[in-house]
């Protein structure tokens, strides 16, 4: 790539001419130092594990220990453990378990083709030690990144603007510059800008970007993207291609090769299947057990509701469940019995920006009802709905029939699964969330559901309830 760079320049009709590229390697020592430190730590850990757990009388001197450490380093290198990562990830931890299995397999092969009689239990123990050590070190480093990932965005104005707005709320990523194609160019952006795609590398270098995110457009065809990668590799700045997918977790996406094309495969959401059966069985069983344990508390709360205001202790209301099925939800009553008659008169005081009706200071709510809502104790009777299979412990918020009539296509996605007592909407702010954010969170849950996601939401529900954010 030496010589006249104009021979490799890619041009757009709406970008400025190429700016002279002066290679620098300011970013190289940081990345090189990181993988060298990881390699040294892995070698030290494997040496210590081999010295402590492998028998020292099989071969003369430290040969076995050195060979053990060397094989471990080679296996991690083959697993691409030392490749630079623009964004820290925990998904690579499985590589260490697989490398550990390969380490045991290599020892078994050596036992078979040589006179070495290495005890299998010692080999397994040493391999497990280095897997835990190396994997734990990577896991700890992924939990605390030294600084947010610095990115430069490249593409057309609208998708770049949308991505800048979305990334503003992220603590892991910060946008340090943009390069926008089109007749208006980069006008209107307060961020540092590049006058042309060929200046992106200089912009990334100046602002110490970790990666450039390209959002494909008609000015960024495959040839242009390839040449952009050539410009960035001098400074070891990574090139990421934004596929334009929103709300798709990494577990659902995979790169597939078809002929000469690299295509992104997106797995369909798990709306049916054995894992859904597991979810329903354990939630219904857990809810039944919880009802038996909490029965005395529910009885006391029901008596308190009756004593504070006239009317029934429990509130029953039609809600819309999976695939539009209507069911009756059960809650402890938190309002006066004539609350529905007063709703029309209070409609102008609605604090919600969407189809929901929410008031921070709703006069229909009783004094005890405010406390029940703040602590979410009014929702305990919904465990009955979970036992009956109408609801789930974790899922989207159960809507009213009148709300569903105002749903657009995106909001209707919430009805693809059973509604839940808690969900992403609750652990993210509940009623404080704007309607668009509620729909986006619920759609993201439906599309990316997993048992692990359910467990994460349940764990976060407890502090969310204690903070009482958005509970009114």
Tell me which fold the domain 5-22+146-266 belongs to: Rossmann fold (3.40.50)
Instruction: Determine the distance from the C-alpha atom of residue 334 to the mean position of all C-alpha atoms in its chain, rounded to a whole number.
Output: 35
Record the pTM: 0.65
In this structure, what token pair is assigned to residue 418?
């059973």
Q: Are 306 and 388 in contact (CB under 8 A)?
A: no
In this structure, what token pair is assigned to residue 320?
């819309």
Q: For residue 124, which phi and psi values (nearest 5 degrees)?
A: -65, -40
Q: How far apart are the first and last CA of the chain?
A: 63
pLDDT of residue 289: 95
Q: Are 138 and 92 in contact (CB under 8 A)?
A: yes
Q: Are 249 and 90 in contact (CB under 8 A)?
A: no
Q: Are 421 and 386 in contact (CB under 8 A)?
A: yes
CA-to-CA distance for 19 and 383, rounded, in angstroms?
Answer: 65
CA-to-CA distance for 238 and 241, rounded, in angstroms?
Answer: 10
CA-to-CA distance for 235 and 270, rounded, in angstroms?
Answer: 41
pLDDT of residue 143: 58
Q: Which of 259, 209, 218 is nearest to 238 (CA)?
A: 209
Could you state, in order of their start, the residue ranges of all structural domains in the chain? 5-22+146-266, 28-143, 274-467
pLDDT of residue 85: 59
For residue 154, list its beta bridge partners: 179, 214
CA-to-CA distance for 315 and 328, rounded, in angstroms?
Answer: 10
Give, to the nearest 10 degrees, the angle between helix 28-53 and helix 63-78: 140
Residues 6 or more apart in contact with residue 458 via CB below 8 angstroms: 393, 394, 422
Residues 6 or more apart in contact with residue 37 via CB below 8 angstroms: none
Q: Are 187 and 125 in contact (CB under 8 A)?
A: no
pLDDT of residue 457: 93
CA-to-CA distance for 185 and 241, rounded, in angstroms?
Answer: 20
| Three-class secondary structure assignment of the chain | CCCCHHHCCCCCCCCCCCCCCCCCCCCHHHHHHHHHHHHHHHHHHHHHHHHHHCCCCCCCCCHHHHHHHHHHHHHHHHCCCCCCCCCCCCCCHHHHHHHHHHHHHHHHHHHHHCCCCCCHHHHHHHHHHHHHHHHHHHHHHHHCCCCCEEEEEEEEHHHHHHHHHHHCCCCCEEEEEEEEECCCCCCCCCCCECCCHHHHHHHHHHCCCCEEEECCCCCCCHHHHHHHHHHHHCCCCEEEECCCCCCCCHHHEEEEEECCEEEEEECCCCCCCHHHHHHHHHHHHHHHHHHHHHHHHHHHHHHHHHHHCCCCCEEEEEEECHHHCEEEEEEECCECCCHHHHCHHHHHHCCCCCCCCCCCCCCCECHHHHHHHHHCHHHCCHHHHHHCCCCEEECCCCCCHHHHCCCCHHHHHHHHCCCEEECHHHHCCHHHCCHHHHHHHHHHHHHCCCHHHHHHHHHHHHHHHHHCCCCC
CA-to-CA distance for 470 and 433, rounded, in angstroms?
Answer: 8
Tens-binned pLDDT, residue by residue, of the chain (472 aa): 333 333 323 333 333 333 333 333 444 444 556 677 778 888 888 888 878 877 766 665 577 788 888 888 888 888 777 766 555 455 566 677 788 888 888 877 877 776 667 777 777 888 888 888 777 776 666 555 557 888 999 988 888 888 888 887 777 788 999 988 866 667 778 888 887 788 898 999 999 888 899 987 777 888 888 888 888 888 888 888 887 777 777 778 777 777 777 777 888 888 888 889 999 999 999 999 999 999 999 999 999 999 988 889 998 999 999 999 999 999 999 888 776 666 666 665 555 555 565 666 677 788 898 888 888 899 999 999 999 999 999 999 899 998 899 888 888 999 999 999 999 888 886 666 777 888 888 988 999 999 989 999 999 988 888 776 645 4
pLDDT of residue 15: 37
């Amino acid at each position: 790539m030496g010589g006249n760079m104009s021979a490799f320049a890619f041009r757009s009709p709406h970008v400025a001419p190429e700016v002279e590229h002066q290679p620098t390697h300011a970013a190289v020592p940081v990345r090189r130092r990181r993988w060298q430190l990881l390699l040294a730590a892995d070698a030290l850990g494997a040496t210590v594990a081999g010295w402590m757990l492998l028998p020292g009388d099989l071969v003369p001197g430290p040969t076995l220990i050195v060979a053990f450490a060397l094989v471990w380093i080679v296996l991690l290198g083959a697993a691409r453990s030392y490749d630079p990562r623009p964004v820290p990830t925990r998904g690579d931890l499985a590589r260490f378990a697989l490398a550990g299995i390969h380490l045991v397999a290599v020892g078994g092969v050596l036992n078979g083709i040589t006179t070495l009689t290495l005890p299998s239990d010692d080999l397994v123990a040493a391999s497990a030690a280095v897997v835990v050590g190396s994997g734990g070190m990577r896991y700890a480093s992924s939990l605390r990144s030294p600084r947010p990932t610095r990115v430069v965005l490249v593409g057309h104005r609208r998708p770049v603007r949308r991505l800048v707005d979305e990334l503003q709320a992220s603590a892991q990523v910060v946008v340090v510059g943009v390069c926008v194609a089109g007749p208006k160019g980069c006008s209107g952006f307060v961020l540092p800008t590049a006058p042309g795609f060929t200046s992106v590398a200089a912009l990334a270098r100046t602002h110490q970007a970790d990666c450039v995110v390209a959002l494909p457009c008609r000015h960024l065809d495959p040839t242009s993207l390839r040449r952009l990668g050539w410009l960035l590799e001098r400074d070891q700045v990574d090139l990421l291609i934004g596929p334009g997918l929103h709300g798709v977790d990494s577990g659902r996406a995979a790169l597939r090769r078809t002929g000469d094309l690299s295509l992104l495969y997106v797995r369909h959401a798990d709306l049916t299947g054995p894992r859904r059966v597991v979810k329903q069985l354990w939630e219904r069983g857990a809810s039944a057990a919880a009802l038996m344990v909490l029965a005395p508390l529910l009885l006391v709360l029901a008596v308190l509701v009756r004593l504070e205001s006239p009317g029934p202790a429990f509130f029953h209301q039609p809600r819309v469940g999976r695939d539009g099925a209507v069911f009756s939800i059960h809650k402890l009553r938190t309002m006066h019995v004539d609350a529905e008659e007063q709703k029309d008169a209070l409609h102008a005081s609605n604090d919600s920006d969407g189809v929901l009706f929410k008031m921070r200071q709703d006069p229909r709510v009783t004094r005890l009802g405010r406390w029940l809502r703040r602590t979410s104790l009014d929702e305990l009777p919904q465990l009955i709905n979970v036992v009956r299979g109408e609801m789930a412990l974790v899922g989207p918020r159960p809507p009213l029939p009148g709300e569903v009539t105002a749903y657009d296509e995106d909001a209707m996605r919430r009805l693809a699964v059973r509604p839940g007592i808690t969900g992403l909407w609750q652990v993210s702010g509940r009623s404080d969330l704007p309607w668009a954010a509620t729909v986006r969170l619920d759609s993201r849950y439906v599309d990316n559901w997993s048992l692990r996601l359910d467990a994460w939401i349940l764990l976060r529900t407890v502090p969310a309830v204690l903070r009482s954010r958005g509970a009114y």
